[in-house]
Amino acid sequence: MSANVLAIDIDGMNIVYGIVSPDGKVLEEDVLRLENGEASEVVRQVKFLIKSYKPKVEAVGIGFPGIVNPDSGEIIFDERSQKYEVDWDEDIPIAIDNDANLAALAEAWVGETQDVSNFIFIVLGESIDSGIFLEGHLYRGSHYSSGEISEVITSNKSLDCISGHNFPGEFSESDKSTLSFVCEQLSQGIQSIAAVVDPTVIIIGGSRGIKIWPLMEDELKEKIKHLNILVQPSALGPRASLIGAAKMALDEVGKKSAKSAQ
Ordered structural domains, the chain, with CATH? 5-102+239-261 (3.30.420.40), 115-234 (3.30.420.40)
As a whole number, the mean pLDDT across the chain is: 91
Give pLDDT, residue 51: 94
Confidence band (pLDDT; 50, 70, 90) for 252? confident
Instruction: Sheet with 14-20: list strands edge to edge.
Output: 26-33, 14-20, 5-11, 60-64, 94-98
Give pLDDT, residue 28: 95
Distance CA 204, CA 162 (A): 14
Contact assessment for residue 81 and residue 226, using Cβ atoms and an 8 Å cutoff: no
Top-confidence residue, 64 or 169: 64
Per-residue CA distances from 126 to 28, 168, 177 (Å): 24, 8, 20
Give the model confidence (pLDDT) of 75-111 as tens digits.
887 777 777 877 777 789 999 999 999 999 999 999 9
Is the pTM value of this prediction over 0.85? Answer: yes
Per-residue CA distances from 161 to 69, 90, 138, 140, 166 (Å): 27, 39, 26, 24, 6
Give pLDDT, residue 1: 47
Q: If we measure between CA atoms, which residue out of 135, 129, 144 comes closest to residue 96?
A: 144
